[in-house]
Amino acid sequence: MRGRSEAGAVTCGSSHAGNECDRLVSADRPLGWPRVGPVLILAILALLTAATALVLAVVGLRRTASTQRPAVDALPEDVHGLRQEVAALKTETGDALRHLSVVRYDAFGDVGGHLSWSVALLDDAGHGVVLSSIHGRSEARTYAKSISGWTCEQQLSPEEEEAIAHARV
């Protein structure tokens, strides 16, 4: 329905207007410019929204990176300090009696129940003590033998040697 309105202007949509309507519509925009439809406007708005979101994300990332930088820079110093502390702890605990073993046995044929025992208490270098308790029918005796470098100057029983061997593993 293209035609003229009461004031003499062309009304687009009238069948009488013809090319006159196209000339008036195209006179609103510069020569050579395409007609801008609603889809193109929505696409441009979406592009502007995406660009704004990207700029905000980059700004946020830079802000986060700048606040985290001192913590990241301090990590090598912290790791070095922790390594020194671990080395100091290894030195301190080297003398600790950490190698332990207990062997239970029957010292005499007439006494059962594995009441006799030998225990080895040694440090990393094999220095320490072997304690043995021998239980008989009427009495019990306890012995202590000094160990140096995984060996003893005194004669060891087979059970005491076994306790040292198990503690060494």
Per-residue confidence in pLDDT tens, the chain, 169 aa: 444 455 555 455 555 555 555 555 555 666 666 676 888 889 999 999 999 999 999 999 988 887 777 777 777 888 888 999 999 998 888 789 999 999 999 998 888 899 999 999 999 899 999 999 999 988 999 999 999 999 999 999 999 999 999 999 8
pLDDT for 18? 53
pLDDT for 2? 47
Domain termination site, one of 64, 93, 122: 93
Residues 112 and 78 in one domain: no
Residues 80 and 133 in one domain: no
Residues 20 and 50 in one domain: no
């980059």: which residue's tokens?
58
Residues 66 and 123 in one domain: no
């502390």: which residue's tokens?
85
Domain termination site, one of 93, 119, 142: 93
pLDDT for 6? 52
Residues 130 and 80 in one domain: no
> Encoding tokens for residue 20?
């006159």
Residues 9 and 50 in one domain: no
Residues 8 and 56 in one domain: no
Residues 111 and 138 in one domain: yes
pTM of this structure: 0.51
Residues 70 and 113 in one domain: no
Reference 17, options 37, 2, 6, 32; nearest CA is: 2
- Cβ neighbours of residue 129 under 8 Å, at least 6 residues apart? 120, 121, 122, 144, 145, 146, 147
HSE of 108, CA atoms in CB hemisphere, 13 A: 11
What is the distance between the alpha carbons of residues 18 and 35, in angstroms, rounded to a whole number?
A: 18
pLDDT for 56? 96
Domain termination site, one of 73, 93, 113: 93
Residues 110 and 142 in one domain: yes
Residues 88 and 103 in one domain: no
Count how many domains the chain has. 3
Reference 110, options 145, 88, 136, 131; nearest CA is: 136
> Encoding tokens for residue 59?
């700004």
Pairing of strands 3-4, 10-11: antiparallel
| Structural domain span for residue 23 | 1-33
Residues 107 and 157 in one domain: yes
